[in-house]
Amino acid sequence: MDSLGTRIRKLRKERKLTLEALAADRLTKGMLSQIENDKAKPSMESLNYIAERLGVKASELLEQVTPTTIRPLLEQVEILFAQVKRGDKDNHQQLVAMIEPYVEELPLSYEAGRLLYIYADAQYEAGLSTWERPLQQARQIFKEINLLSHWFKTYMLQLAVLAENRQYDAAYACILQVQEEIKQENYQLDSRDMGKLAYFISILQLAVGEHEEGKQLINETITNAHQNQLYYHIDDMYRIAAYCAMIDGDFEQAEHLMMKLEQYRVFVEQVDVDAFIFVLRAHYYNNYTGDYQQALMEIERFKALHHGDVQKLDENFYYAEKGKSLYFLGQYLEAKEAFEHYKAIPMYISHPYDLLSMNECFSYKALNYAQLGELTTAYEIAKKAYMDSKDLVDLPYKDKIKETYLTIKAQINSV
């Protein structure tokens, strides 16, 4: 790291000042030269004078790493961070390596907090277990400099990690802790962040089995979003509320919410919102109305979308629902062809409702193989879906997964 003298010399040259110009009438050129070469230490009075002439705080000159010196690093890091995809361990490790030399001596600044946030995220994605400490450091920095939106964002990252690892109780406790701190400290978060807070509380209530509470809060949050004209996560909220209505057997409400989602789709014209709707409707027709031909039509609308780099258009959604429709229609060979492309639940899926819905599709894949006499394959698929779902919240999907597993297991044992 640069010495005090080196930092002074760098800043002087950046500002295109000569030794004489910086020294002016308060220091001699020779004394300033000795300071820059670390042969003399300035008094606090001289240091304050030099800092004032350079347009920085004296504390920045004393820090080994300053906001000014790490700004170019942050710019480079932000570029890579925006490009790197989830699951790309190598590039996340590169981010870790870029930031690591600075983490122990970062100043109290936005730049430091942002670097620590990215460092924590990159550590987690690189498979390192040390991500929590830098995230807590980032949180503390943002709190001290009163950047509450960034402070709140550190919790959103923590929630994402906990949910990805299916630690739903811990995630729910975490979001309630955030809510309590906001209340106790009287933090004034903006309306957007308060909407996010309500959204995450509601989906975590659903994740831990508080179905009625989560459903009620989702509906309240949708109402507040419209009143305040803040539509963050509104497509997710409509979709989840529709799922809740389907599970409750309130199909009139489910259709109303899907209609609202269609209206939102026309408003925003976003391909991922289209994808949400087509998959949701295919699921509805397959699981709840028995209109399998209509389900096929909806899922083909999904297929027709331009996939590109839109993460939520993972083709596993397409093949899961298409295979299910064809299975229900008794077209087992065609269903098998579709199901063979349904290989995995997308890595970004972490909510129990979504996990159970997609594992149920694996159960239908297993039933289809069983219909074709391939019991060993059917059993392995059914068992995997069952084992992946057994610790999740109780829903009708989970019952179907368990029933399928036990049925195929019995068939295997009777052979």
Burial of 384 (0-12, 13-18, 19+ CB in 10 A): middle
Q: Greatest CA span in the chain, whole angstroms?
A: 100
**Rounded to an integer, what distance in angstroms lies between the CA atom of residue 84 and that of residue 67?**
25
Q: In this predicted model, what pLDDT tens digit does every residue of 169-193 receive, in sequence order?
A: 999 999 999 999 999 999 988 888 9
Q: Mean per-residue pLDDT for 335-341?
A: 97
Residue 165 identity: N
Nearest alpha-carbon partner for 97 in 69, 118, 82, 67: 118
pLDDT of the residue at 310? 47
Under 8 Å CB-to-CB from 120, ≥6 apart: which residues? 131, 132, 133, 134, 135, 138, 154, 157
- Check residue 264 and give its pLDDT: 84
Identify which of 197, 115, 184, 82 has the alpha carbon closest to the alpha carbon of residue 149: 197
Cβ atoms of 408 and 363 within 8 Å: the answer is no
Assigned token pair, 19 = 């030794």
Over range 289-315, report the average pLDDT.
81
Range in 100-114, 157-171, 371-385 with the lowest mean pLDDT: 100-114
Average pLDDT over residues 221-245: 87
pLDDT, tens only, 383-399:
999 999 999 999 999 99
User: Looking at residue 246, what is its pLDDT?
Assistant: 96
Any alpha helices (H) in 186-291, and if so which ranges?
A: 191-207, 211-228, 234-248, 251-268, 271-284
Q: How far is CA 246 from CA 137, 203, 316, in A?
A: 43, 16, 22
pLDDT > 70 in the chain, percent: 97
Structure-token match 């028995």, residue found: 290
Q: Which of 265-269, 376-380, 405-409 has the lowest mean pLDDT?
A: 265-269
The span from the first CA to the last CA of the chain, in angstroms, equals: 72
Average pLDDT over residues 322-330: 97
Is-contact 366 384, C-beta < 8 A?
no
Query: What is the average per-residue pLDDT within 39-48?
Result: 86
| Continuous segment of H or E residues that includes residue 342 | none
**Nearest alpha carbon to residue 125 among 155, 153, 159, 84:** 84
pLDDT of 404 above 50: yes
pLDDT value of position 60: 73
pLDDT tens digits for range 346-365: 888 999 999 999 999 999 99
* 64 pLDDT higher than 70: no
pLDDT average, residue stretch 256-265: 89
68 vs 121 pLDDT, higher one = 121
**Mean pLDDT within 292-317:** 80
CA angle at residue 241 from 237 to 244, to 5 degrees? 145
Fold exhibited by the domain 4-62: 434 Repressor (Amino-terminal Domain) (1.10.260)
- Residue 63: band (very low, low, confident or very high) from pLDDT cuts 50, 70, 90: low
Alpha carbon distance 57, 205 (integer Å): 47
Q: What is the pLDDT averaged over residues 142-170?
A: 96
Task: Tell me: pLDDT of 163 over 90.
Answer: yes
| Residue closest to 148 by CA, chosen among 171, 115, 178 | 178
User: Helices 191-207 and 234-248: crossing angle, nearest 10°?
Assistant: 30
Looking at this protein, which amino acid is placed at residue 99? Answer: I
Spatial CA neighbour of 137 closest among 164, 160, 119: 119
Q: Where are the domains of the chain?
A: 4-62, 159-232, 233-330, 344-415
